[in-house]
Structure 1
Amino acid sequence: MNNIQTTRKTNFRWVICAMLFFATTVNYLDRQALSLTWKDFIAPEFHWTNTDYGNIAAAFSIMYAIANFFSGRIIDWLGTRRGYLWAIGVWSAGACLHALCGWATEQWVGLDDAAQLVGAAGDVAATVSMVSVWFFLAARVVLAAGESGNFPAAVKVTAEYFPKKDRAFATAIFNAGATIGALVAPLCIPTLARYFKDMGVGNGWEMAFVVIGMLGFVWMGIWIFIYQPMQTNKRVNAAEREYILQDSQDDAAADADSGRKLSILECLRLRQTWAILMGKFLTDGVWWFFLFWTPAYISDVYGYTSDSTMAQMLMFTLYAITMLSLYGGKLPTIFINRTGGNAYNCRMKAMFIFALFPLLGLVAQTLGAISCWLTICIIGIVGAAHQSWSANLFSVGSDLFPKKAVATITGINGMAGGLSSFLINFVSGRLLDHVEAAQTVFCGFQGKEAGYFIIFCYCSVAYIAGWLVMKLLVPRYMPVKA
């Protein structure tokens, strides 16, 4: 009996996976706080237009892209324990900094309180708008710099604690934190803002940023206590370690060949890097558009403010549907177990299936004439397909590259996603203001609805385009050996 007990493997890798899940949840709560408060709480105070918000979202995205170019390398250098602590510490501080933007604007413009900001007119209102945008830009830059470290660190931890066949599923679990964060955010953030506003604490939105931002510091305390490298972690027994290291011969061969870390420039010379980069660049903006603009879409098209029960239920339903992405992370494992094929080929087969579902987005807005719930459900399906696609795209990096380069390639991956988000947010704000002013008609939609439909069309075909580019660049399993 004692021998049986000693050979039964522990499952501490799933505790680590749970920590990655909660970090990603906090990441998305902090990221989405602005999108859920700007339209109904912040814009009236600072006189923002869609273009102003689009500029702020675009600035976050471009900083996220730039920081991702270096964050993977920094995580490889610091290691996952220290690197993760630095990342979440910086982004949590950035989240809390948003709360000071109103006060800073008052001081700069020379007004006494939020009521005077709201009541400003003419040149004063224009100054309030411009100054507040710059302060929010600064806070978003700090937030983006820290958040850029989340996925490189999480993917690196996954490569350390899981065998290749389980990595997409583990990635899907921690990546589901993005969905849970987006799911919980519409229920708690506008509610917190409304609660503190009714209490007379500022305009309400400030404390919502502070409360959400503090969650990251709580996570840091737990991470310090719980995380150790897998090889030296006393909570991982020999049986679990053997399971985790089942790919050790292949990894050892790759490491023996590399003997050093690949530089960023070396990575950029490889077609495998460009396959992952383009797969991310063509598709990531879709998720960021829905994340940053869906609350405004619900308000603009259906008239529900972000703190209304109907808007919260619509957003909750949308992100509840995206939870289907958990199965998306499991699908390649099913293909591997049934066919015995390599991880890359099975992953690409699964990603092609995921690329088909966003085509439903072409009819999402048309069906909204029947019921807004139909539109929201379709956006949820597109979101689930994206998260399934994204989880597998992260794992493609660990399939094709040696462990020493995983965080670096994930950082490059994140840079491409940030550039994609920058473009879609920069264009969306201007497009929506333009079509509203010109009352543009497109495919039966007019004004802002025409603008949203144009963006929906791109979102629908992006994944097929991304898959085709990846398949052309890396048609079969071609692991990198430095």
Structure 2
Amino acid sequence: MEPVNRGDKKTRVRYGMLALVFINVVINYLDRSNISVAAATFSKDLHLSSVQLGLIFSAFGWTYAFLQIPGGLIADRFGPRILYAFCLITWSLATLFQGFARGFASLFALRLATGAFEAPSYPINNRIVTSWFPDHERASAIALYVSGQFIGLAFLTPVLVTIQFYAGWKGLFITTGLVGLVWGVIWYLFYRDPLDHPRVNQAELEYIEQGGGLVRKKTATSHTSVWSWGNFKQVFSSRTLWGVYIGQFAVNATLWFFLTWFPTYLVQYRGLDFIKSGYLASVPFLAACAGLLLSGFLSDNLVKKGRSVGMARKTPIIIGLLLSVSIIGANYSNDTTMIIFFMALAFFGSGMALISWVFVSILSPKHLIGLTGGVFNFMGNLASIVVPIVIGYLARGGDFKPALIFIGALGLIGACSYIFLVGKIERAPVPDNEQERALLSANE
């Protein structure tokens, strides 16, 4: 469908679409992190050990990570409007049913289901931003929608704590599940791709496309199937992409500590009051949001000033990963203020590094953005499996210090990956056979 508004002054519909994605991310992370708020209570009610709790924390990651590649392929095949609505509704149902879990097995299974249905979400986010935003606005756009995970958690964690205080952990899961179900319907009613939106005009479409936005991105067809071994070889054989994959694992290691063990760390290992911990837990999320927004706008500003893409995109990420190592500082203080300071500084750095999704838009072959995003998110979200389980084992004797050293060491490894593995920043070319196949498809 052609856009109906064709005024000379370009519209700004892309920002409205970004706002919808922002809310998707808020809900996405509420349903990932509500388990951490509920853990201190349900672990006692269900008589779970620290190792069992670590396994439950990791359950989301098992399906979420291993379905990233299929999720990316699905994002290349189906439009964001229908696919995202389906994902929102199904993962919200899985969240709601967690309120009826009766033991380790049922809660573990429902967390697996939540991860499975959330799997396509970030490849879809990346596809939306790639089609709606030109290159020079993309890091800022990514920073804005990713900030939803921190803004939402910073301001809503105290709300979640309050809901649990009055309605219990079961009421917490039911409430967050119902919110997602309602939003899934709203998303379907309001989202459209660029060429299908009735309010976008030709000036905005040309602005996006001339700036490198893939306005005319088509879903995969039988002529250009993304399921070939050649396509997989492309996204797994690049040293640059491997550097980005390893870096993303390190970024997500810090993130998943905060999404899973952080509230339990404050309550059980630092002896803080449950309600107080809910408010203190919001501080690092605000810091991460500030780091993310600073990094996104700084990176885009460097591009606009003519700095190389590699310098503009990599520098904030490397600085952020190095700052995330400061989480180890919490091991050397018993003062609550200093503990929260080190946590906030580390998460500020992790937030800076989260503009790394921009490399999927920059580096991936144009016909494999969803697949590359899926592989990128798969490699990064292996941390959602490894980190909660490793922390559960490291902390089983009652000492959390080794766990924080583990997180800090991963941050250092991530910084080294960007410094030594990520080389020249340029989009991977389409192989000759793919170019010929696309040409034949266009002529038929």
TM-score, normalization: structure 2?
0.88
Gaps of 5+ in 2: 1-5, 431-444
Corresponding residue for residue 178 of structure 1: 149
**Separation (CA, whole Å) in 2 of partners of 1:101 and 1:260:** 41
Corresponding residue for residue 278 of structure 1: 246
**Separation (CA, whole Å) in 2 of partners of 1:353 and 1:417:** 18
> CA RMSD for the aligned pairs?
2.3
Corresponding residue for residue 244 of structure 1: 208
SS of the residue 1:474 aligns to? coil
In the alignment, structure 1 residue 59 sits paired with structure 2 residue 59: yes
- Corresponding letter in the other structure for 1:453: K
- Corresponding letter in the other structure for 1:85: A
Quick one: which of 363, 371, 385 aligns to 1:422?
A: 385
State the 1:81 CA deviation: 1.5
State the 1:402 CA deviation: 3.1
Quick one: which of 284, 290, 315 aligns to 2:258?
A: 290
Native 8 Å contact 1:72 1:407 kept in 2: yes
**Separation (CA, whole Å) in 1 of partners of 2:206 and 2:215:** 14
- Corresponding letter in the other structure for 1:375: I
Alignment of 1:283-362 (within 5 A): 283-306=251-274, 308=275, 310-324=276-290, 325-338=292-305, 340-362=306-328
SS of the residue 2:199 aligns to? coil
Alignment of 1:434-473 (within 5 A): 435-436=397-398, 448=399, 452-473=400-421
Q: Percent identity?
A: 23
Larger displacement relative to structure 2 (224-233 or 164-173): 224-233
State the 1:270 CA deviation: 2.6
Larger displacement relative to structure 2 (177-186 or 286-295): 177-186
In the alignment, structure 1 residue 222 sits paired with structure 2 residue 223: no
TM-score, normalization: structure 1?
0.81
**Separation (CA, whole Å) in 2 of partners of 1:58 and 1:189:** 21
Corresponding residue for residue 24 of structure 2: 23
State the 1:429 CA deviation: 0.9
1:369-393 per-position Cα deviation (integer Å, ceiling 9, x unaligned)? 2x212211221222122122122x1
State the 1:72 CA deviation: 0.9
**Separation (CA, whole Å) in 2 of partners of 1:176 and 1:21:** 8
**Separation (CA, whole Å) in 1 of partners of 2:416 and 2:225:** 32
Corresponding residue for residue 143 of structure 1: 114
State the 1:79 CA deviation: 2.0
Native 8 Å contact 2:249 2:382 kept in 1: yes
Q: Which ranges of 4 or more aligned residues in structure 1 deviate by more than 6 Å?
A: 249-252
**Separation (CA, whole Å) in 2 of partners of 1:189 and 1:336:** 39
Native 8 Å contact 2:284 2:344 kept in 1: yes
Native 8 Å contact 2:133 2:213 kept in 1: no
Aligned length: 417
Native 8 Å contact 2:85 2:185 kept in 1: no
Native 8 Å contact 2:10 2:201 kept in 1: yes
- Corresponding letter in the other structure for 1:423: V
Gaps of 5+ in 1: 103-131, 197-203, 437-447
Quick one: which of 317, 335, 338 aligns to 1:374?
A: 338
Larger Rg: 1
1:58-106 per-position Cα deviation (integer Å, ceiling 9, x unaligned)? 222122111112111111111212221222122111101101213xxxx
In the alignment, structure 1 residue 9 sits paired with structure 2 residue 36: no
**Separation (CA, whole Å) in 1 of partners of 2:416 and 2:101:** 44
Native 8 Å contact 1:164 1:343 kept in 2: no
**Separation (CA, whole Å) in 2 of partners of 1:192 and 1:474:** 44
Native 8 Å contact 2:135 2:213 kept in 1: no
Q: Note closer, same or farther for the CA distance 1:236–1:74 as it changes in structure 2 (3 Å cut).
A: same
